[in-house]
Amino acid sequence: MEHGTRDDLLSRLAEEIESATTTHPLRVAIDGPPAAGKTTLADELTVVLRAQGREVIRATIEGFLFPQAQRYRRGQYSPEGCYFDSHDHDAMRRVLLDPLGPDGDRRFQEAVYHRETDTALSLPVTTAPADAVLVFDGVFLLRPELIDRWDLSIFVSAAFDRTLDRAQGRGQALAGSAAGAAEIERAWNNRYIPSQQLYFATTRPTDHADIIVNNDELQRPTWEVRPHRSVPMA
């Protein structure tokens, strides 16, 4: 296990990306529980890569949510709903991950949904250069429907009580609406944490990640870079 500053971590991740060789855009997943620090890490890594001259496609699972009525059809606090009903994996593969993959034409869209308005997006199709990097953050990215679409996977771990503290600190639930501490705690305890426990029990994401980052201490992270990813699940 390595440890250092955030800059050390970002330099190490950039090295891993630089050393990865593909004939198509490199598809990097940044997975982990809600409020573990995935989005911040992805944004910081994007800045580093662009400063090195890499073309970066920055996308997030938030752009591939199903409409709210479908996400909450089992109930607003259902962990099964969170895991099974939230994300349009078919659209992710069709418009983004497969076009950037080994048999793709590199013509992609980075999102199909706008969360604030709960409406579909129809973005223009863009063509990526072959040496581009997709930096994609979100929950449940190493599930069977997606695991073979990533060329490099990073799992950001953090204790669930820390993620709750961080969510309360920023003052809103992940549903995007302003909420008090009690409402955030209810969403965490009833929906988000149990859905992550379901994910860990059924998928074991940390067994399949190329890099694991422990993000309990934001300014003093630790990380493990594995020499070879596990064989994808059947």
pLDDT digits (tens, 9 = 90+) for 106-145: 999 999 999 999 999 999 999 999 999 999 999 999 999 9
Q: What is the value of pTM for the model shown?
A: 0.92
Percent of the chain with pLDDT over 90: 84
State yes or no: pLDDT of 191 exceeds 50. yes
Query: Domain-by-domain residue ranges, the chain?
Result: 2-225
| Gap between the Cα atoms of 5 and 165, Å rounded | 22
CATH level 3 topology of 2-225: Rossmann fold (3.40.50)
Whether pLDDT at 105 is above 70:
yes
- Look at residue 100 and tell me whether its pLDDT is greater than 70: yes
**pLDDT on residue 1:** 87
Q: Average pLDDT, whole number, for the chain? A: 92
With 0-12 / 13-18 / 19 or more C-beta atoms within 10 angstroms meaning exposed / middle / buried, residue 44 is middle
Residues 153-174: tens digit of each pLDDT: 999 999 988 998 888 877 654 4
Closest CA to 206 of 50, 68, 31: 31
pLDDT of 233: 37
Q: Are 134 and 57 in contact (CB under 8 A)?
A: yes
pLDDT in tens, 48-95: 999 999 999 999 999 999 999 999 999 999 999 999 999 999 999 999
